[in-house]
């Protein structure tokens, strides 16, 4: 979903279309307008808080300028003790427009980055390497 709205310009075009029914300049033919509408089917404008919501999953489209504030508030409420991947999955279930890189940069720059414990590599050693060796030594 983030790929559809990977720039602020695309987010602004969508908001302007939903709010004011004004299509972007590149949608200058009927087919392009129809494709634009089909591409963003399921998005609704919420006039109460001036946001765009993807209604099938209740995901809020985040403007670039609001990104850090949202990450701060969500991290304080739900992110403490979580690593960047886990926190990103939480963010991904609530918002559109915040990428994995955005979350990782936020956590690194704010000193909130939890590094994972090193994985212990499991080695499988046979109990009996060779039956003849076992019988000779016992």
H-helix segments, the chain: 8-20, 30-39, 67-74, 84-92, 100-109, 131-137
Give the pLDDT confidence of 45-76 residue by residue, as tens digits. 999 999 999 999 999 999 999 999 999 999 88
Q: What is the pLDDT of residue 136?
A: 66
pTM, to two decimals:
0.73
Of 1, 9, 25, 19, nearest to 98 (Cα)?
1
Q: What ranges do the domains of the chain cover?
A: 8-61, 64-109
Of 49, 58, 61, nearest to 12 (Cα)?
61
Number of Cβ within 10 Å of residue 138's Cβ equals 5
């Amino acid at each position: 979903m983030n790929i559809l709205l990977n720039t602020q310009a695309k987010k602004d075009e969508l908001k302007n279309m939903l709010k004011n029914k004004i299509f972007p300049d590149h949608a200058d033919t009927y087919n392009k307008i129809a494709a634009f509408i089909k591409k963003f089917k399921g998005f609704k404008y919420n006039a109460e808080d001036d946001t765009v919501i993807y209604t099938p999953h209740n995901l809020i489209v985040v403007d670039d300028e609001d990104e850090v504030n949202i990450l701060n508030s969500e991290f304080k409420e739900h992110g403490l003790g979580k690593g960047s991947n886990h926190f990103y999955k939480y963010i991904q279930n609530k918002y559109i427009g915040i990428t994995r890189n955005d979350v990782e940069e936020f956590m690194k720059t704010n000193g909130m980055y939890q590094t994972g414990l090193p994985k212990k590599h499991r080695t499988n050693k046979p109990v009996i390497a060779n039956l003849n060796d076992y019988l000779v030594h016992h």
